[in-house]
Amino acid sequence: MSAHLRHLLLFLLLALGGVVQCASPGGVAGPARLSLDTRSSLWAARDGKVLPFTVWPGTPPKARGVVICIHGLSGAASDFWPIGDRLPKSGYAVYGLQLRGQGNDPDVKKRGDIRSRRQWLEDLEDFTALVKRRHRGGPLYWYGESLGALIAVHTAAMGGPRTDPQGIILSSPVVELRPNLQPGFLKNFALRTMLNFLPGQKISLESMGNSEVQVTSHTTHRSQMSHTAHYVPAFTLRLFAEIEQLIKTVPTAAAALDVPVLVLYTPHDPLVSKEAVEHFFGHIGSPRKIKVFFPDSFHLILHDTERSRAVQTVQDWLDHGHRAAAP
């Protein structure tokens, strides 16, 4: 593999993920298809796939609203602990979806792979419908970070009375890779060739070397990975192709959004420029949209120096009918 292609794939690996520690689930028997078991913290999707989830403690019997969090590549539900620690005290139920093919997938062989991007969208649909059964009548919101933001946008664009959220929060949505990360013609051709002939081939981080890409103002990707239990060391080319399609088609999906949207973004994100996020924001079809800028943060806003402001911004937006101005 050429050095240029290794560089491209490394940044694709970094581009869409959270990096905060979370324990892997144990081997507990799974619930029936399309069901959710809070005792085991497991749920079953429409295809019978059993996946773990997180629900933060402290939720009152009658929640004023529900927030479902969707993490990024090689991330986990625990990446949202600042939200899970804060919002239940204000009356919200907070759930974290563990994505299939990521580090908390109970099927170890499936980690680092996805058959189709639609599986992620259907999982969010199904999980939302199951959570709605537990919290009937109250508003429900999605909070997606990085890759999770792309999944939220595309799922909402599909629409559906069972799952439509009352609002969407998008943090550091990787809607376009920075120009210096986009492949030229020859690198693009080589990547397409590999995808066509070796879709299930996994590319390991070790084979591409380490990276010092800064994900917060005080940590790099390398330092985060050193203590992340859900870290996935290799991903298939097929998974990269599915993520690429989510990125390419996100402007069209954004145009179909008709629910309130809150976008959190930064100037220092090494993966996506603030101009790209602002351009994406312009594509959002909903007139009820707000973007909030965090000038001192990097990709992982919830884990950077402006964490408190980010959490307060989210709560204000939820509390005040999605009309909260930028603090």
Separation of alpha carbons 207 and 89, rounded Å: 45
Separation of alpha carbons 20 and 264, rounded Å: 19
The domain tally of the chain equals 1
Residue 324 lies in a domain: no
Separation of alpha carbons 236 and 50, rounded Å: 21
Structure tokens at 207: 């084979």
Q: What is the DSSP string of 255-305?
A: HT--S-EEEEE-S--SSS-HHHHHHHHHH---SSEEEEE-TT--S-GGGST
219 has a pLDDT exceeding 90: no
Cβ–Cβ under 8 Å, residues 120 and 99:
yes
- Residue 220 is given by DSSP the state B
Range in 82-96, 181-195, 261-275 the model is least confident about: 181-195
The widest CA-to-CA distance across the chain, in whole angstroms, is 58
Closest of 326, 323, 311, 322 to residue 94, by C-alpha: 311
Judged by DSSP in three states, 218 sits in: coil
Residue 69 lies in a domain: yes
Average pLDDT over residues 223-228: 70
Q: What is the DSSP string of 144-205?
A: EETHHHHHHHHHHHH--TTT--SEEEEES--SS--GGGS--HHHHHHHHHHHHH-TT-EEEH
Residue 16 lies in a domain: yes
State the residue range of the domain holding 65: 3-319
Judged by DSSP in three states, 68 sits in: strand
**79-134 residue pLDDT tens:** 999 999 999 999 999 999 999 999 999 999 999 999 999 999 999 999 999 999 99
208 has a pLDDT exceeding 90: no
Kindly give the pairing relationship between strand 167-171 and strand 140-145: parallel
- Residues pairing with 235 in the sheet: 203
18 has a pLDDT exceeding 60: no
Per-residue burial over 239-270, b = 16 or more CB atoms within 10 Å of its CB, e = otherwise = bbbbbeebbeebbebbebbebbbbbbbbebbb
> What local confidence, expressed as pLDDT, does residue 162 receive?
67
**Rg of the chain taking only CA atoms, in angstroms:** 18
28 has a pLDDT exceeding 60: no
Instruction: Find the distance separating the first CA and the last CA of the chain, reported in whole Å.
Output: 47
Q: What is the pTM of this model?
A: 0.88
Residue 240 lies in a domain: yes
203 has a pLDDT exceeding 90: no
CATH of the domain at 172: 3.40.50.1820
Residue 308 lies in a domain: yes
Residue 325 lies in a domain: no
Separation of alpha carbons 247 and 177, rounded Å: 9
Closest of 96, 95, 93 to residue 58, by C-alpha: 93
pLDDT band at 316 (very low <50, low <70, confident <90, very high): very high
> What local confidence, expressed as pLDDT, does residue 212 receive?
63
196 has a pLDDT exceeding 60: yes
Residue 326 lies in a domain: no
CA angle 77, 212, 226 (to 5 degrees): 50
Say which residue the tokens 């602002």 belong to. Answer: 278
